Amino acid sequence: MKVNNYKMILVGSFSCILLFSLMSNPVFASETIDIQELYKKANEHLLIGELHEAVEIYDEILEIYPENVNTLVMKGVALSNLDRHKQSLIEFYKALEFDPKNILALTGMGVGFGNFGEYKEAQLYFENAYEIKPNNHVITNYKDFAQKTVEKYPYNEVDKPEIFEIDVVETVPTWVKNTAGWWADGTIGDSEFITGLQFLIKNNIIEIDSVQATEDKVQTIPTWVKNTAGWWAENKIPDKEFLSGISFLITNGFLVIDILDISQISEESKKNSDRNLWEFSRYLDRIEKTVINDKRYIEYPNPSSDVIKKFLRDYVKWNFDQQIEIGNKDFPNPEYVLVDDIYHLEYKIYINDQPIGLPLDHVSTLINSFKYWEDIELSANDGKPVKIHFVTTKSRIDANLWVTWVVRDIGENVLGHANLGKGVIEVALGGYGCDGNFQLFHVDTVETIMTHELGHGIGLKHSKDPDSIMYPTIKKVKYAYCLLDVNQ
């Protein structure tokens, strides 16, 4: 066959895509350079898998800034990667106390509960995260996992402390709402209700445009506010309506609340949060015990580490080391026919199985990669058009191309490689570029790499056009389950 017609260079050289993974997460904008440096250093340790070193530095920062949400969350991620699920949950829990809508902490809670096999609780957190960020692929993957698992494995749920029977994305803590109800029905006096309002003001849940000078005034509340508070406590009016009503009253001086004395509120909320944290920790202990007693089956939300373990156990099955070493000269050339002045080039492809336990289906996205090249019209050196056709075969001997998914370390930042024109096509299933641990790629990323490598497989070299699939680097690598990708 006239291979030169089609600019096919059948050499044994490898081609690859390079990945550049950057993590930028600026925090402490108003704080000291030292802390910023520490935070950066901790994240660097995390990204290369030095988790103990990272945790040590996060702790150093938290000693100075115990309420720094980003540090709490990153420590939670590090502990989760260390399989210290309880400790990880506690860090995410603390982060949510300060920032109830923190997307990473919500997802981290879901993963933590999932790792305990407390799937319904996990589902709750994933659904909350999904509500905030419905387009994030990691959250969607986890939400789907929880839904499937809840249906698949019945288990004895561990009783939650009453304090956690709340919607986690709710911004008004339950105790404030309860206080409003008790105040409305006369169970408690004004001052306790005011503590609740002060908490909301201090935490910017009630926004006050201009603060009234209040030192000399007696704190008073018009009685009709009581009715409204009662309705709110009974969910007859939404949070927004009640809160903006209170804000209006305060701003216009109808309701005078001393918001200068924040030490009292801090103490109140500190007492509350200490008690809650203690309850939460006991709750996790009970879960741990129940999981052991019930011999509960655990299906981990993030399958990445399981997949790589199974992969390494069966290394030879997924890797074609020997053929790669020999090169592609022993592979048969693809056949072609000239019909109506069009070259039809037929590639026989042997497709290796996917590693066991992989929940993502790459074999079916391979169809998309085939279609991509089958739909494109290439031209031969003699100007005639070339159409590519892929036919799968069970026989390796007949095949012009062998396709396999690997998780071996192909090389730093290398996502895949292929022989030019024929031979072996290898595509990475995951990598260490997200959080230092092995993480599976998203199906779209694997498909993109596959399409690129398949391009080499049919003889195409790299393109200088950044928009071309044959451009040597990929702009964005998406991971399927990496917690840090929820911020994408």
Which residues here bind Zn ion, judged by CB under 5 A? 15
Cβ closer to Zn ion: 380 or 425?
A: 425
Cβ 477 to Zn ion shortest distance, Å: 15
Cβ 459 to Zn ion shortest distance, Å: 12
| Cα torsion 464, 470, 473, 477: sign | positive
Cβ–Cβ under 8 Å, residues 416 and 392: no
Cβ closer to Zn ion: 173 or 457?
A: 457
Residue among 437, 448, 446 at smallest CA distance from 484: 437
Cβ 395 to Zn ion shortest distance, Å: 27
Cβ closer to Zn ion: 15 or 247?
A: 15
Q: In terms of DSSP bridges, do strands 385-392 and 423-428 run parallel, antiparallel, or are they unpaired?
A: unpaired
Pair of tokens at residue 469: 């699939």
Cβ–Cβ under 8 Å, residues 485 and 111: no
Cβ closer to Zn ion: 13 or 264?
A: 13
Up-side HSE of residue 169: CA atoms within 13 Å toward CB? Answer: 16
Instruction: Report, in angstroms and rounded to the nearest whole number, the Rg of the chain calculated over CA atoms.
Output: 29
Cβ 125 to Zn ion shortest distance, Å: 39
Cβ 84 to Zn ion shortest distance, Å: 39
**CA–CA separation, 448 vs 369, rounded Å?**
8
Cβ 420 to Zn ion shortest distance, Å: 10
Cβ 461 to Zn ion shortest distance, Å: 8
Cβ closer to Zn ion: 291 or 449?
A: 449
Q: Which stretches of 234-381 are DSSP H helices?
A: 239-251, 262-293, 304-313, 315-318, 321-326, 362-375
Cβ closer to Zn ion: 49 or 327?
A: 327
**CA–CA separation, 122 vs 115, rounded Å?**
9
Cβ 16 to Zn ion shortest distance, Å: 5
Cβ closer to Zn ion: 198 or 448?
A: 448
CB closest to Zn ion, residue no: 15
**CA–CA separation, 108 vs 93, rounded Å?**
9
- Which amino acid, residue 313? R
Cβ closer to Zn ion: 205 or 424?
A: 424
Distance of CA 382 to CAs 218, 336, 345, 451, Å?
94, 15, 15, 26
Q: Which stretches of 8-84 are DSSP H helices?
A: 33-47, 51-64, 69-81
Cβ closer to Zn ion: 19 or 111?
A: 19
Q: In terms of DSSP bridges, do strands 385-392 and 342-351 run parallel, antiparallel, or are they unpaired?
A: parallel
Cβ closer to Zn ion: 131 or 412?
A: 412
What residues are paired with 339 via a beta bridge? 342
**CA–CA separation, 341 vs 363, rounded Å?**
33
What residues are paired with 479 via a beta bridge? 441
Cβ 473 to Zn ion shortest distance, Å: 9
- Which amino acid, residue 214? T
**CA–CA separation, 100 vs 93, rounded Å?**
9
Pair of tokens at residue 479: 């991971």
Cβ 324 to Zn ion shortest distance, Å: 15
Cβ closer to Zn ion: 19 or 284?
A: 19
**CA–CA separation, 216 vs 352, rounded Å?**
80
Cβ 422 to Zn ion shortest distance, Å: 16
